[in-house]
């Protein structure tokens, strides 16, 4: 793998680790939420996990792409990264609003 790609993959894995920590916090707090909020957060958590799985698949595709093609694959990875980041942030905001 080229060094730019290695650095990019490392950055992505750092993002995922951060979001995993935030998701863990949401899951812990959701367990203590009222029933209606708990149902909503469990649904959000499952959606986020699906988005994370999609991003992880795209990272694997990126790692396996040729040196010439990885920049093109990166575009799809960037979109998946943004979608996952927004989903985590949205869930955090929603949870904060509901537990006030």
Say what the pLDDT of residue 1 is: 47
| Of 24, 26, 86, the residue nearest 51 (C-alpha) | 86
Calpha distance 12→21 (Å, rounded): 14
Confidence of residue 8 (pLDDT cuts 50, 70, 90): very high
Mention every residue, 6+ apart, whose C-beta is less than 8 A from residue 36.
none
pLDDT tens digits, 61-89: 999 988 888 888 899 999 999 999 999 99
Say what the pLDDT of residue 68 is: 83
By the 10 Å C-beta count (0-12 exposed, 13-18 middle, 19+ buried), 94 is classed as: middle
Q: What is the pTM of this model?
A: 0.83
60 versus 94: which is more confidently predicted? 60
């Amino acid at each position: 793998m080229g060094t730019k790609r290695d650095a990019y993959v490392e950055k992505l894995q750092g993002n995922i680790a951060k979001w995993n920590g935030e998701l863990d916090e949401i899951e812990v707090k959701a367990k203590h939420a009222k029933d209606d909020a708990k149902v909503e957060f469990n649904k959000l958590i499952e959606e986020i996990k699906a988005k994370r799985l999609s991003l992880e698949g795209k990272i694997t595709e990126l790692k396996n792409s040729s040196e010439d093609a990885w920049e093109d694959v990166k575009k799809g990875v960037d979109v998946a990264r943004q979608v996952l980041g927004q989903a985590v942030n949205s869930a955090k905001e929603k949870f904060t609003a509901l537990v006030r």
